[in-house]
C-alpha cells in the first residue's frame, strides 16, 4: 500500500487511451461522452499543476467510421487514408473539449524514425518539453498517414512508454478494456486472479500476457507488458486501468488499490535507441 500512496506525489504523467476505448462497441462511432470525461479529468490534473501528456489512438477508427468501414482496414494504404481523415476529426474534438475547460491542446504525430534518428529524437523531446513548459497538453499519436509499416507500437502502448521515457515522466497510465494484469486470461479462466502490484517483470509475468486486440485496436496485454518494461526501466511507475471507469485515474492518484501497478526501477543513463532496441522490447 505504501507504493500506491506515493502515487499522490506524481507530477509528470502520460495517459494512453486505445482505439477500442474511444469508440462505441455497438456502432463503431466515437464515444463523445467518454472522450469529454477523459478531457475533464486531464484538465483537473492540469489544474493541480501536474504535467500531462495524452497519447491517443483512434485516428484510423474514426476515419474508418467516416468511410463506412465496420472494422480496421486490412491494407496499409486504406489505413493511411482512414488516418488522414480521422486524425483531423479526432484532434478537432480534443481541441474543442480542452478549450471548454480553458486548456490548450497541441497535436504531436510521431513515427519510429523520430525515435531512432538522433536529431529527430532530440527535436521530439524538445518539442514535448517546450509544450509542457508553455502549459499546453500534447496529444500524441503515431503518424499513420506517412508510416511505411505498422511500427509495432501496439495501439500506442509502446509509443506511450517511449514518450514517458523521452520526457522523464514519473507515471504512465494505460487505459485498457481490462482491469489489469491477471494470472490468466479472465475471459477464459474464471479462476484468474488480478495482480495488484508487480515489482519485477520476469518470464512468469510475461507469460501472463494473453489475449487479442479488439476489432479496432491492435494492442493486447503483451504490448502492455512491453510498455511496462520500458517505463519501469526508465524510472516511471506504470498502471493498467479499466477505461470503462475513467474515475479510476483519480482513485489511482489518491493511492487506492485499483488496476495493476508496475513499480519503477532506478532510471539508467542510456541512449534511447539502444535502450529500446537492444533489450528486445519491440520483439
* Domain locations along the chain: 2-278
- In the numeric block, the cell 486486440 is attached to 213
- Domain 2-278 in CATH 3.30.530.20? The answer is no
Taking only the tens place, the pLDDT of each residue in 65-98 is 889 887 778 888 898 899 899 999 999 999 999 9
Taking only the tens place, the pLDDT of each residue in 100-158 is 999 999 999 988 777 778 888 899 999 999 999 999 999 999 887 765 555 445 568 98
Lowest-confidence pick of 41-50, 154-163, 196-205, 253-262: 154-163
Ordered DSSP codes for 36-66? HHHHHHHHHHHTTT-EEEEEE--HHHHHHHH
DSSP class of residue 9 equals G
- Please count the other Cβ atoms lying within 10 Å of the Cβ belonging to residue 99: 12
- In the numeric block, the cell 505498422 is attached to 150
- Please count the other Cβ atoms lying within 10 Å of the Cβ belonging to residue 129: 15
Strand, helix or coil at 195? Answer: coil
**3-class secondary structure per residue, 118-158:** HHHHHHHHHHHHHHHHCCCEEEEEECCCCCCCCCCCCCCHH
CB 209 within 8 A of CB 221: yes
Q: Any residues with CB less than 8 A from the CB of 191 and at least 6 apart, and which?
A: 184
Amino acid at each position: 500500500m505504501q507504493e500506491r500512496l506515493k502515487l499522490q506525489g506524481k507530477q509528470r504523467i502520460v495517459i494512453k487511451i486505445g482505439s477500442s476505448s474511444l469508440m462505441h462497441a455497438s456502432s463503431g462511432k466515437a464515444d463523445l461522452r467518454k472522450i469529454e470525461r477523459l478531457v475533464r479529468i486531464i484538465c483537473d490534473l492540469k489544474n493541480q499543476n501536474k504535467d500531462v501528456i495524452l497519447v491517443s489512438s483512434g485516428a484510423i477508427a474514426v476515419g474508418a467510421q467516416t468511410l463506412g468501414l465496420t472494422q480496421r482496414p486490412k491494407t496499409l494504404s486504406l489505413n493511411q487514408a482512414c488516418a488522414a481523415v480521422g486524425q483531423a476529426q479526432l484532434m478537432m474534438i480534443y481541441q474543442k473539449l480542452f478549450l471548454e475547460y480553458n486548456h490548450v491542446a497541441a497535436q504531436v504525430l510521431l513515427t519510429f524514425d523520430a525515435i531512432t534518428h538522433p536529431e529527430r529524437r532530440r527535436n521530439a523531446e524538445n518539442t514535448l518539453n517546450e509544450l509542457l513548459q508553455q502549459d499546453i497538453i500534447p496529444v500524441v499519436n503515431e503518424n499513420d498517414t506517412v508510416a511505411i509499416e505498422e511500427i509495432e507500437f501496439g495501439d500506442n502502448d509502446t509509443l506511450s512508454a517511449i514518450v514517458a521515457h523521452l520526457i522523464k515522466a514519473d507515471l504512465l497510465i494505460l487505459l485498457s478494456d481490462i482491469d489489469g494484469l491477471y494470472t490468466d486470461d479472465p475471459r477464459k479462466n474464471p479462476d484468474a486472479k488480478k495482480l495488484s502490484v508487480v515489482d519485477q517483470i520476469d518470464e512468469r509475468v510475461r507469460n501472463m500476457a494473453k489475449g487479442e486486440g479488439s476489432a479496432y485496436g491492435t494492442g493486447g496485454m503483451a504490448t502492455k507488458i512491453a510498455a511496462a518494461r520500458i517505463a519501469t526501466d526508465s524510472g516511471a511507475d506504470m498502471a493498467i486501468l479499466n477505461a470503462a471507469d475513467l474515475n479510476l485515474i483519480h482513485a489511482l492518484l489518491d493511492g487506492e488499490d485499483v488496476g495493476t501497478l508496475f513499480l519503477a526501477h532506478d532510471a539508467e543513463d542510456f541512449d534511447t535507441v539502444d535502450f529500446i532496441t537492444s533489450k528486445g522490447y519491440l520483439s
